[in-house]
Chains A and B, each alone.
Chain A
Amino acid sequence: MLRVDRLSAWYGEAQALREVSMRVDEGEIVTLVGRNGAGKTTLLRCLMGLHGTYGRTTGTVSLFDEDISGLAPHRRARHGLGFVPDDRGVYATLSVEENLLLPPVTKGGQEPWPLKRVYETFPPLRERRRFPGTKLSGGEQQMLALARVLRTGARLLLCDEPTEGLSPLIVQQIGEILREVKAAGVTVLLVEQNVHFAATVADRHYLLAEGRIVESLDNDQVREREHELLEYLGI
């Protein structure tokens, strides 16, 4: 579904990604694991086409065998990429409902979730639909950011550290949401520092270090090497 071929990216003169090649297949949840500064967020932003303002990129990104490397971010979104940034990207100046209604529904993607279904699945969002988006709790904001992308019918969700700074109970909820997302047929590429969490929700993992993909791991390998990985990640 998603193919990344020798993707490199720079911030001015500093190279942040070095010939990253990877793929994500339809229906999978794949995580990118790595230390702070390894290039995880940069990679997601490159996939979304949002790196352009910071520096140049080379290499290709294709979605369903179509090269999308040259497309503007909004076009990529309409091709079925859904983006959840690391700070959740909830708008303070938009109400919860407006946050949900803002992104246009993609054509030919997954079946978009009608607002009704979003509210049935995430009741707290209905209760607070008139509130400014940022008046929600951290977990609810994450819920909102995920629901927002589901409403567009995105086929591949790019999700940057959804569990960061959330309590274990909420992390569990996020895990359930991600499994629901997967069950609904949406593919997910997840940036995650929490390897334990990653192994419970994802199918495969890429370990990113200094802008390179150094290892590709499955869940068993992650569980076996959890301590080593945690130490490596400095958590």
Chain B
Amino acid sequence: MLQQAFNGLVGGAFYALLALGLSVIFGMLGVVNLAHGAFYMLGAFGAFIALDAFGLNFWIALLLVPPLLGVAGIVLERLFIRRLTPLDPLYNFLFTFGLALILQDLVKREYGVSSQPYPRPQELDGTVDLGLFTYPAYQVFVLAVSVLMCVAVWLVLTRTRVGMIVRAATERPELTRGLGIDVGRWVTPVFGFGIALAAFAGVLAAPMRAVNPLMGADLIITVFAVVVIGGLGSVFGSVAAGFAVGLVSALGNLYVPALSQILVFILMAVVLLWRPAGLFGREEAFR
């Protein structure tokens, strides 16, 4: 059971990284980025292509792919999303949804739907003795790196001026502009950063998950549930809910396998009935 709980936390790490990016983007831009899963998938394929075509190993991919896709996100925000934001939110909904389908199909055209092999980095090929059980070293690494990343983002958000501006703009974008802060200037880098986080999760996923064009689409639905459970726009909430949902679905798999597919959504429904704004959400998030 402990081992299964650990599996859950590792799975939760991916939810947390994706939900973190989604949440910051939603808070700052008011955009529900339906292409977030596609960028996770592109992150994994980026790692695969880097190895396959250029012979670049996992570590280089982990450093290189997220910033590259982050820049792609910045271009995307500048060219399209920015123009659609003043219109009905549905336009960005449709745009990011369409983009996700296009990206998936482009990758599908090139690589087909079957999963691509991606080896674990040699350094992390073994297992680690965690006292009560042994566990694959790579999974331990994924969990550690994700936690570190979430903590780093948390520190930036809570301890720096940039973080203060992001928090303020997430909570009350208009007022923040009225107080003399050029919110628009921060929107683009925040979007790029959210995309880079998704790509980072994608690269991390490559050695342990099936690398195929639909890997993002499969995951992102759960991630949306995570964001809702954590509270829309709440950064802390989405990270906490990410790990919690990972844990719950892993334990659910063990004890009530019949419900494993829908357990997350039952959890979401219960949380929403109990706290309509999500666990860490505030009513303001709805305005």
Which chain B residues in 18-64 approach chain A with CB under 8 Å? none
Contacts of B179 in A (CB 8 A): 74, 77, 83, 89, 102-103, 148, 152
**Interchain CB contact under 8 A, B172 and A89:** yes
B174 within 8 A of A: yes
- B160-200 interface bits toward A, Cβ cutoff 8 Å, 1 = contact, 0 = none: 00001101101110111111111110000000000000000
**Interchain CB contact under 8 A, B164 and A98:** yes
Complex: how many Å from CA A101 to CA B184? 19
Q: By CB atoms of chain B within 10 A, which of A53, A72, A73, A101 has the most? A: A73
**Quick one: closest A residue to B175, CB to CB?**
A89
A-B pairs with beta carbons under 8 A, tally: 68
**Interchain CB contact under 8 A, A102 and B172:** no
Which of under 10, 10 to 19, 20 to 34, or 35 or more describes the interface residues of A?
20 to 34
B284 within 8 A of A: yes
**Interchain CB contact under 8 A, B180 and A103:** yes
**Interchain CB contact under 8 A, A94 and B180:** no
**Quick one: closest A residue to B165, CB to CB?**
A102
B86 within 8 A of A: yes
Contacts of A103 in B (CB 8 A): 179-181
Contacts of A138 in B (CB 8 A): none
**Interchain CB contact under 8 A, A94 and B168:** yes
B282 within 8 A of A: yes
**Interchain CB contact under 8 A, A91 and B183:** no
Which of under 10, 10 to 19, 20 to 34, or 35 or more describes the interface residues of B?
20 to 34
**Interchain CB contact under 8 A, A94 and B178:** no
Contacts of B170 in A (CB 8 A): 93
Contacts of B182 in A (CB 8 A): 72, 74
Give the dominant DSSP class at B's interface. Answer: helix
Contacts of B86 in A (CB 8 A): 53
Which chain A residues in 84-136 approach chain B with CB under 8 Å? 85, 89, 91-94, 98, 101-104, 106
Q: Quick one: which of B165, B167, B177 contacts A72, CB cutoff 8 A?
A: B177
**Interchain CB contact under 8 A, A102 and B181:** yes
How close is B67's CB to chain A, nearest CB, in angstroms?
28
Which chain A residues in 41-55 approach chain B with CB under 8 Å? 48-50, 53
How close is A69's CB to chain B, nearest CB, in angstroms?
16
Complex: how many Å from CA A220 to CA B86? 46
Q: Quick one: which of A50, A98, A101, A106 contacts B178, CB cutoff 8 A?
A: A50
26 contacts between A and B (CB under 8 A): A50-B178, A53-B174, A72-B177, A73-B178, A74-B177, A74-B180, A74-B181, A74-B182, A77-B179, A78-B180, A83-B175, A83-B178, A85-B175, A89-B172, A89-B179, A91-B171, A92-B282, A93-B171, A94-B164, A94-B168, A98-B164, A102-B179, A103-B180, A103-B181, A152-B179, A152-B180
**Interface, chain B (partner A; CB < 8 A):** 86, 164-165, 167-168, 170-172, 174-184, 282, 284
Known: A91-B172, A92-B171, A106-B180. 19 other contacts (CB 8 A): A50-B174, A50-B177, A53-B174, A72-B184, A73-B177, A74-B178, A74-B180, A74-B181, A74-B182, A77-B181, A85-B175, A85-B178, A91-B168, A94-B168, A103-B180, A103-B181, A104-B180, A148-B179, A152-B179
